[in-house]
Amino acid sequence: MDPAPRPYELRVSGIPDSRTRREVARRLGERFPALRPPELARALEGAGFVGRLELGDAEAPQLLRQLYDAGAPPAAVVLAPCDPVGRRARGDEDALAASFAGGRFVATWNWAAFVFGPLWYLRKGLYAKGLLILVVTANPFWSVSTWVLVSLPALVYCGAVGNWDYYLLRVKRTQWW
């Protein structure tokens, strides 16, 4: 038994190819009848399209397949579940909003991940990477100079890559490694 449909947010970033853009707009027009394909094509020519729709769990992958079959590049399409008031489910909206624009990830520095390092990773649900960084940075057998030489690059890594790791976990539902 398929559970009741739930709200999803669909983001499709701009598509440079006109033929692909028209086909994707036509397929989106089937899901969003209030919008005409020419309007959708104009939106896809610029910044992109953001829409909300109700989908069952089986319908979400079908919609993605339809858009991919139309020629939309996978990096241009993000379909994420929303809670009833429209926020992303199980996501930290502030952290994603800073690094997510127009359907694509935008690299940003994460000060919280830099300062708290492995604890930030553990708090965000990235347990394997958080534990590995914790083991590397909290080795009691190293001298202070060795600890600084190892911990500083690890913390810089956390600050530089933390938003990417969190984006992969929450939006793409995968992990880098």
Average pLDDT along the chain, 177 residues, taken 10 residues at a time = 76 87 88 82 83 83 87 85 54 52 72 94 92 90 90 94 87 74
The CATH-assigned architecture of domain 6-89 is 2-Layer Sandwich (3.30)
Task: Give the per-residue pLDDT at 154.
Answer: 94
**DSSP class of 108:** -
Task: Give the per-residue pLDDT at 89.
Answer: 44
Given a contact cutoff of 8 angstroms between Cβ atoms, the answer to whether 2 and 56 are in contact is: yes
Task: Give the per-residue pLDDT at 90.
Answer: 47
Task: Give the per-residue pLDDT at 91.
Answer: 45
pTM for the whole thing? 0.48
Lay out the sheet containing 6-13: strands in order across.
Answer: 48-55, 6-13, 77-81
The SS3 of residue 80 is strand
> 108-120 in b/e burial notation, b at 16+ Cβ within 10 A?
bebebbbebbbeb
Cα separation, 72 vs 110, in Å, equals 30
pLDDT digits (tens, 9 = 90+) for 129-169: 999 999 988 888 889 999 899 999 999 999 999 988 988 88
Task: Give the per-residue pLDDT at 116.
Answer: 95
In the chain, CATH 3.30.1390 covers 6-89
Given a contact cutoff of 8 angstroms between Cβ atoms, the answer to whether 133 and 117 are in contact is: yes
Task: Give the per-residue pLDDT at 5.
Answer: 82
